[in-house]
A and B are shown apart, each in its own frame.
Chain A
Amino acid sequence: MAVLARAEGKQLRELWGGLGIDPAFEMVRGPETGLATVRGRISGDGAPFNFGDVTVTRASVRLQDGAVGHAYRLGRDQGAARLCAVIDALADDAAMAATIDSRLVEPLREALAARDRQRQAETAATKVDFFTLVRGED
């Protein structure tokens, strides 16, 4: 769910299209867009405080076999939230879960990890290497 929530909508749709699965489903809730209030902690690790809101879109679906799936995602992409809920419901079936994992979730996870690695490497290049100046004594 964490990978699906973070996945970029376009890539998610492309990979889903490649799976060739098109199950019938009914909406149990949504997709609907609302707010979640983000909490922080005073001084980073102390008592909580409310900090500001984020837009969140959620959806719940039921497949014909009765499997229910839920999705929550930052932002307002209702199509992506509905799709994530369908994928979540499909993953109730072990065989389907394996397919989804290898052909959808894994590539998404790798794309997200690659972005993180690139950013970390770019940040690391801005690390300060201190050196001590030797004072001339002669």
Chain B
Amino acid sequence: MYVAVKGGETAIDNAHKLLADRRRGNRDVADLGLDQIMEQLSLAVDRVMSEGALYDRELAALAIKQARGDLIEAIFLARAYRTTLPRFGYTQPVDTGRMQVERRISACFKDLPGGQLLGPTFDYTHRLLDPALAGGAAPETPEVRDPDGAPMMRVSDFLGQEGLLEPAPDAADKPVPDDIARNPMSYPMDRDARLQALARGDEGFLLSMGYSTQRGYARSHPFAGEIRIGEVELEIAVPELDFAAPLGRIQVTECQMVNQFQGSAKAPPQFTRGYGLVFGQAERKSMAMALVDRALRATELGEDLTAPAQDEEFVIAHSDNVQATGFVEHLKLPHYVDFQSELNLVRRMRAEVEARTETHQEAAE
């Protein structure tokens, strides 16, 4: 018999009221402003923008505040908000070669044109907690130096000149990319659709998958060919204007991973590439994305499929933390009837086992 039940409305209302109270915390402590989150927790904002697939610093800061700092919850809020807005169109592809660079490094070439620019990095810090920061000490003013104006050539450009590096996929082969935000995903996917999924993928998941390739599961000898962080211009073609409308700039992180490749029947030995592009300053994620992108090209490059990171459906289908959290967390919703039926089933099975055991014992006696 199925019995519909209802209830909990008051409990839910009160729980949400309690949530609002706990989110605010001790009223003697100043309320957190969105400007403080945007300015001082900017990498959390970047993560919410990247995995929420929505670049808007203020909205991401609001999501973080509303989610009490739970970034996956904040990402969920950002994704939900996204669905309420109309879509005006697609921008022209960003030109990361013309980026206003804030950081640019290469692990392949020491003396690359434009140089190694460390920018605001955690690298080379000692990872010691700083009590002065707890006390609110004001930082020193950054040093300045005249930029030498040297062009920031891509590492891939001069490796490509010698033919040692595979060329990028030709835009003429697929001028209009797939859009997983509009069309359901299906496997196998093209690389453009995979990159869209990876760009919004969970940083932790991609980090682990990328790490697994380094530990020997689909090993491909990667080098960080180039990582650059900075602002790129956005433009959008619209019918009312006879030129592409400039929208402004966004900050992105780009990683070009360079990987050894033995060569195949079709291609000579050369370096192949994995690519990472992420909203905001997100170096770790861009590197993980590039490693996973490269691992997922195994079929295209004729490599043996031996490892989880090469399994497109496994990686892509489990990379989205909003989907993942939805399915994992739904387990806490009422399953009372499901569980009743399971309970009855287990009781019946036990009764059958007990009956068999008794019959067996009687026979033995």
Task: Say whether, besides A41-B171, A44-B168, A126-B118, A121 and B145 are in contact (CB < 8 Å).
Answer: yes
* Cβ-closest chain B residue relative to A119: B102
Contact with B along A53-95 (1 / 0, CB 8 A): 1111010100000000010111110000000000000000000
Q: Kindly state whether residue A35 has any CB partner on chain B within 8 Å.
A: yes
**Is the CB–CB distance between A52 and B145 below 8 Å?**
no
* Total A-B pairs, Cβ < 8 A: 226
Interface range for A: 35 or more
Which of A6, A60, A124, A130 is in CB contact (< 8 Å) with B144?
A124
**Is the CB–CB distance between A56 and B144 below 8 Å?**
no
Task: Say whether, besides A43-B168, A45-B97, A122 and B55 are in contact (CB < 8 Å).
Answer: no
**Is the CB–CB distance between A42 and B88 below 8 Å?**
no
Which of B86, B110, B200 is in CB contact (< 8 Å) with A52?
B200
Q: Kindly state whether residue A102 has any CB partner on chain B within 8 Å.
A: no
Q: How far is the CA of A130 from the CA of B115 in the complex (A)?
A: 10
Which of B89, B148, B256 is in CB contact (< 8 Å) with A36?
B89
**Is the CB–CB distance between B195 and A54 below 8 Å?**
no
**Is the CB–CB distance between B247 and A74 below 8 Å?**
yes
Instruction: Pick out which of these stretches binds chain A: B232-240, B303-311, B334-342.
Output: B232-240
Q: Which residues of A contact B91 (CB under 8 A)?
A: 36-39, 54
Q: Which residues of A contact B168 (CB under 8 A)?
A: 41-47
Contact with A along B95-123 (1 / 0, CB 8 A): 11100111100000011000111111000
Which residues from 226 to 282 on chain B have a C-beta closer than 8 Å to any C-beta of chain A? 233-234, 236, 238, 240-241, 245-250, 252, 254, 256, 273, 275, 277, 279
Q: How far is the CA of A33 from the CA of B87 in the complex (A)?
A: 9
Q: Kindly state whether residue B291 has any CB partner on chain A within 8 Å.
A: no
Q: Which residues of B contact A6 (CB under 8 A)?
A: 246, 248-249
Q: How far is the CA of A2 from the CA of B246 in the complex (A)?
A: 5
Q: How far is the CA of A45 from the CA of B146 in the complex (A)?
A: 29
Q: Kindly state whether residue B199 has any CB partner on chain A within 8 Å.
A: yes
Q: Which residues of A contact B176 (CB under 8 A)?
A: 48
Distance (Å) between the CB of B35 and the closest chain A CB? 13
Distance (Å) between the CB of B113 and the closest chain A CB? 12
Task: Say whether, besides A2-B246, A5-B246, A46 and B101 are in contact (CB < 8 Å).
Answer: no
Q: Kindly state whether residue B142 has any CB partner on chain A within 8 Å.
A: yes
Q: Which residues of A contact B66 (CB under 8 A)?
A: none
Which of A32, A43, A70 is in CB contact (< 8 Å) with B256?
A43
Q: Which chain A residues have a beta carbon within 8 Å of chain B's beta carbons?
A: 1-2, 5-6, 32-56, 58, 60, 70, 72-76, 116, 118-128, 130
Q: Which chain B residues have a beta carbon within 8 Å of chain A's beta carbons?
A: 49-50, 53-56, 58-59, 82, 85-97, 100-103, 110-111, 115-120, 142-148, 154, 156, 167-171, 173-181, 191-193, 195-196, 199-200, 233-234, 236, 238, 240-241, 245-250, 252, 254, 256, 273, 275, 277, 279
21 contacts between A and B (CB under 8 A): A34-B88, A35-B82, A37-B179, A40-B195, A47-B175, A50-B177, A50-B180, A51-B195, A51-B277, A52-B200, A53-B82, A54-B247, A58-B88, A70-B245, A72-B246, A75-B58, A121-B144, A124-B144, A124-B145, A124-B148, A126-B117
